[in-house]
Structure 1
Amino acid sequence: MNHRKRRLLTAGITAVGVGAALGIALLISSTQQEDGNGQTSRQETVAERGRTVMPFDLEATTHHFTPTKTGGVQDVVADQPDDATQVNLIRTHLQQEAKAFSQGDFGDPAQIHGDSMPGLAELEDGYKRIEVRYRERADGATLTYTTEEPVLVDALHDWFEAQLSDHGDHAESGH
Structure 2
Amino acid sequence: MKQGKRRLLTAGIAAASVGAALGIALLISSTQQEGDNGKTGRQEAVAERGRTVMPFDLEETTHHFTPTKAGGVQDVVADQPDDATQVNLIRTHLQQEAKAFSQGDFGDPAQIHGASMPGLAELEDGYKRIEVHYRERVDGATLTYTTEEPTLVDALHAWFEAQLSDHGDHAESGH
TM-score computed with the length of structure 1 as normaliser = 0.90
Distance 1:100 1:15 in 2: 48
Deviation at 1:23, TM superposition (A): 3.7
Q: Which AA in structure 2 matches 1:42? A: R
Pick closer, same or farther for the CA change 1:20–1:113 going to 2, 3 Å: closer
1:146 aligns with 2:146: yes
DSSP-derived class of the 2:110 partner: helix
1:156 aligns with 2:163: no
Note the 1:46-65 alignment, pairs <5 A. Answer: 46-65=46-65
Deviation at 1:24, TM superposition (A): 2.9
Unpaired runs of at least 5, structure 2: none
1:31 aligns with 2:31: yes
Pick closer, same or farther for the CA change 1:11–1:114 going to 2, 3 Å: closer
Deviation at 1:12, TM superposition (A): 8.6
DSSP-derived class of the 2:151 partner: helix
Pick closer, same or farther for the CA change 1:58–1:19 going to 2, 3 Å: same
Deviation at 1:30, TM superposition (A): 1.1
DSSP-derived class of the 1:34 partner: coil
Provide the aligned C-alpha RMSD in A: 1.9
Distance 2:14 2:173 in 1: 44
Q: Which AA in structure 1 matches 2:155? A: A
> Deviations 1:22-42 (Å, cap 9, x if unpaired)?
443222111211110111111
2:119 paired residue number: 119
Tell me which moved more, 133-142 or 27-36. Answer: 27-36
Pick closer, same or farther for the CA change 1:21–1:89 going to 2, 3 Å: same
> Deviations 1:106-156 (Å, cap 9, x if unpaired)?
111111111111111110110010000000111000000000000000000
1:97 aligns with 2:136: no
TM-score computed with the length of structure 2 as normaliser = 0.90
Moved >6 Å (runs of 4+) = 8-16
Q: Which AA in structure 1 matches 2:27? A: L
Distance 1:17 1:128 in 2: 44
Pick closer, same or farther for the CA change 1:151–1:19 going to 2, 3 Å: same
Deviation at 1:54, TM superposition (A): 0.5
Deviation at 1:20, TM superposition (A): 4.8
> Deviations 1:40-90 (Å, cap 9, x if unpaired)?
111111111111110000000000000000000000000000000000000
Distance 1:96 1:11 in 2: 56
DSSP-derived class of the 1:152 partner: helix
Unpaired runs of at least 5, structure 1: none
Q: Which AA in structure 2 matches 1:145? A: Y
Distance 1:93 1:57 in 2: 12
